[in-house]
Structure 1
Amino acid sequence: MLIRNARVVTRDEEFTGTLRIENGVIVDLERGTTSAAEAEDWDGDYLLPGLVELHTDNLEKHLAPRPGVRWNIDAAFVIHDAQVAAAGITTVFDSLRIGARSDVDMHSRDLQTQCVQALARLSACKLLRAEHFLHLRCEIAAPDVVNVFDSMCTHPLLRLASVMDHTPGQRQWHDRDQWRRWQERHGKLTDEHFAAVIAKLSDGQERFADRHRREIVARCMELGVPVASHDDAVIEHVEQAAAEGIVLAEFPTTRIAAPNVVRGGSHSGNVSAIELAEAGLLDILSSDYVPSSLLTAAFELVGKAGWTVPRAMATVSAEPARAVGLDDRGAIAPGLRADFVRVRMHDALPVPRATYRAGERVV
């Protein structure tokens, strides 16, 4: 494949250039154009590296499109994958929450097992457009989380784990009233019910959280699986993670511990990613639950934080790839896998027009 008249964005610069791909790998990149008849003219559209997403809960929306509705798992995976690829994401870490804290928790062990089986099955059948890996989000205050982790830790696509504690009064939900307001989006809680839930969750946190965190981090170190901390709020959280050998601070909730670029602030009142970007504290962006926001957020860094396009694009390509040891992708450069996306700007909105994985168009 030969592409000309593309606005190429590399790790360090952008320019109008020509790109040649052979056998799924970028073999040549030059400034200027070519007169070769077989070259595909991109009309000045951006040629950006394929996006690398380390954390998305988007699959959950398709598994449970409405409260109480459970969708076919394979069908949910396929449409999740299509949505991800259409957003320009060529490598995605499907975030699977493990650890149940209530009988009605949708993240049951049975569902978790079915999800990891579906991921392996669909990937082996080459039915997925993006390349999918597994990110186990470990709810350390849940009584069963270590057992579930042990049952999944040999999955061939496991590449990342995170340790998190969503107990009211901890980290993201340090303000219990804020947690209550979030829970009440589906209906009001009585004071008695609220107090009972808080007591049960706090008891589990005291009994399990510290021990489970140590056990899961130790297992990941033995397996060579990178670990992320989650919702760090104070300097002690950062120091603990560093001492444990944790390599990523995922969704820090305050500036001192270092999110939302597109919306301008976190839905739960935490620090804005734009503020972190302006302070030079932001390395990697995540779409979390809206895949299309990843590319938009990168260009928001250009418009709102004054970053260059190459620097902004690195937060959604080169930096996340490097953080998890994927050295064969994440940038437009000879020798790397030909994962890239064609993007046209509509005013300030980047619109993905085509997505390529290993040189093959998937969307």
Structure 2
Amino acid sequence: MARRSDAVLERLTRLHPKIIDLSLGRVETLLERLDHPERQLPPAIHVAGTNGKGSLIAYLRAMLALGGDPASGLNRVHAYTSPHLVRFHERIELAGTLIGEDTLVELLEECETANLGESITYFEITTVAAFLAFARMPADVLLLETGLGGRLDATNVLEQPLLTAITPISIDHVQFLGSEQEVIAVEKAGILKAGVPCVIAPQDPAVMAVFEARAAELDAPLYRGGIDWDVQAVDDGFLFSGRNGSQHYPKPALRGAHQIVNAGLAAACAEQLDSFRPKVAEGIASAVWPARLQRLTKGPLLNLLGMESAGQASSERRWELWIDGGHNAAAGEALADVLADWDDRPVHLIYGMLNTKVAEDFVRPIAERASSLHAVAIPDATASLSAGDAKAHAVAQGFAATASDSVEAAIVDIRERFPGGRILVCGSLYLAGHILSENA
């Protein structure tokens, strides 16, 4: 069923000829016309980085929402993330609840009116709408994720956030941020503010040097992963060593060995947030973030696999269906580590990617661990690689691959050709969102 907000959002996409055009001028003009809602926000934790931003926010959201002063109640947590998986409302969370349809429409139309028909990108104007929402509903803290980069990102208009955090840096969005990690780090370092502490995930030394230099210019205290704090995986979780000593934490609720670093980064941030009394262990163990190595257990796609998917056959013939939205080289390496642990059963990949990504770098580490690879186009994504082009990228890495008309067709082909195993649909958050929507 079509929503009113869909029509408004579609209109807003026509306000600028480019999907991405990094600048702060248009945002600053619109914010001024709306009486500067960015100056009326709750204390904000501003997050940038290449990989793990959403996971970090998921851990912090859980830690903070479960914490707070026993006398005055739990923390009220706003959150801004992107992109969404199924519907736009997922981007704006108000005190633990997704923004309502009527409120969203009112805010978008208010921004549209104030913009006076002038050029502004979709992300810029919707970010301003989010700021209006966050300014008008009381909360104790705001978790704010950059969209792309940092220095010129639409979220980077906050003069004095409570804390900044930077997740691991790798190559992504090369047409906007460059193809060298140090150059990308300069853009991410743009969220650092004078006197505001910044917690940084472990980085390559050259990347960390970029952050250290920028922090020195601004007199911004750094809390550096691998230097000032560290994590070590153990069988039942991980050990975190920081300024408050060593602490054992449980296994992260989000799957994959790379989540140890993300959860450790959240724990390091929590050390800066004592006044909020975050529940660190509880948050690590309960965080939820869809499409990050998520197993699907019901729905039409499982039905395509037949009764065996429900566990009514031997384990050798049983199917599992997973999705993951990772889409760059670092995500491919992280998935490769997961697949190495899945060596008890065959793994069959279904992947689709946007043409703004480097498909070979994503496919290379995972394809060699898979029994089959099917390439698909991402439905309704104009920037998607065609199935044929996606297949060609895999073949260029020396792997056999099949082009399929759809995820459904790929699943059926896998079911007919192989006796059982795990199917992983990967390569794009947009593809993962399509799966979640169609499999509901």
Indicate the structure whose relative CO is greater, using CA pairs within 8 Å and at least 6 residues apart: 1
TM-score by length of 1: 0.32
Normalising by structure 2, report the TM-score: 0.28
Larger strand proportion of the pair: 1
